């Protein structure tokens, strides 16, 4: 049995500006915070809870409570849902994703889960909107931790508690689009598949040591071959 752990944003789907808008409005509603930097790469932890923690910590001058963080994130999810419902297409899936997930799901040898910087509610909203939620069991979310590495660890622990035997490192794969995904996989000793459709990013991935890179999920047979090899 292989464990396939997927990141969501930039890997399975892209929701574009909707997310940033909902996030900015939530911060404005609760704390009148404006002009938030939506280049998520600049934050120490590129996760929903990590980003809100950092912004509020700076704004308040002291670490925020969990309640303060989740108040904002609850509003954010409500706004995100509104953003999704008032548009015909709230973004798009990475080419070939649905077919790939369906192909994996139809086979007994794969368990699929999620490790994402989204809080669980946001992840569920996105996955159901894109009709992908049914493929995944358990998952690790920004509710579990601020740090991506700890989120990935939580996802593996949940998968291990569902499976009859724990997954060996050689049988677990993290599929993501960001170098922080790769570093987390490497830190836990599990294999990584990089999804990136730009040459620049692919070069950056390779120079950091990413061995397996695909532009999207169109070549599902090849990706499955790599996983099974």
Sites of contact with Mg ion (CB under 5 A): 7, 9-10, 177-178
* Smallest distance from Mg ion to CB 127, Å: 14
CA neighbor of 149 nearest in space, from 172, 194, 191, 180:
180
Q: How many residues does the chain have?
A: 229
Give me the least distance between CB of 131 and Mg ion, in Å please: 19
Confirm if 173 and 3 have CB atoms less than 8 A apart.
yes
- In the complex with Mg ion, the residue whose CB is nearer, 34 or 41, is 41
Tell me the closest approach of the beta carbon of residue 7 to Mg ion, in angstroms.
Answer: 4
Choice between 118 and 171, CB closer to Mg ion: 118
Min dist. Cβ of residue 31 to Mg ion (A): 26
Whole-angstrom distance, CA of residue 180 vs CA of residue 187: 10
Tokens of 196: 């990136």
Q: How many Å separate Cα 37 from the centre of its chain?
A: 20
- Looking at the Cβ atoms of 26 and 196, the one nearer to Mg ion is 196
Nearest to 149 by CA among 185, 194, 113: 185
Closest CB to Mg ion: residue number: 10
**In this complex, which beta carbon is closest to Mg ion, that of residue 3 or of residue 13?**
13
């Amino acid at each position: 049995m292989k464990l396939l752990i997927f990141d969501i944003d930039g890997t399975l789907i892209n929701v574009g500006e909707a997310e940033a808008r909902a996030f900015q409005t939530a911060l404005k509603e609760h704390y009148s915070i404006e002009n938030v930097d939506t280049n998520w790469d600049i934050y120490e932890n590129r996760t929903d809870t990590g980003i809100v923690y950092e912004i509020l910590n700076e704004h308040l001058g002291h670490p925020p409570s969990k309640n303060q963080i989740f108040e904002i994130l609850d509003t954010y999810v409500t706004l995100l849902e509104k953003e999704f419902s008032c548009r015909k297409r709230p973004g798009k899936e990475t080419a070939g994703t649905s077919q790939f997930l369906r192909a994996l799901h139809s086979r007994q040898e794969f368990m699929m889960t999620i490790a994402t910087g989204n809080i669980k509610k946001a992840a569920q909203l996105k996955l159901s909107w894109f009709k992908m939620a049914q493929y995944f069991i358990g998952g690790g979310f920004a509710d579990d931790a601020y740090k991506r590495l700890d989120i990935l660890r939580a996802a593996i622990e949940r998968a291990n508690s569902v499976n009859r035997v724990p997954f060996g490192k050689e049988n677990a794969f993290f599929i993501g689009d960001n170098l922080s995904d790769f570093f987390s996989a490497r830190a836990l000793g599990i294999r990584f598949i990089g999804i990136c459709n730009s040459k620049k990013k692919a070069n950056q991935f390779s120079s950091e040591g990413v061995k397996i890179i695909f532009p999207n999920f169109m070549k599902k047979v090849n990706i499955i071959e790599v996983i099974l090899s």
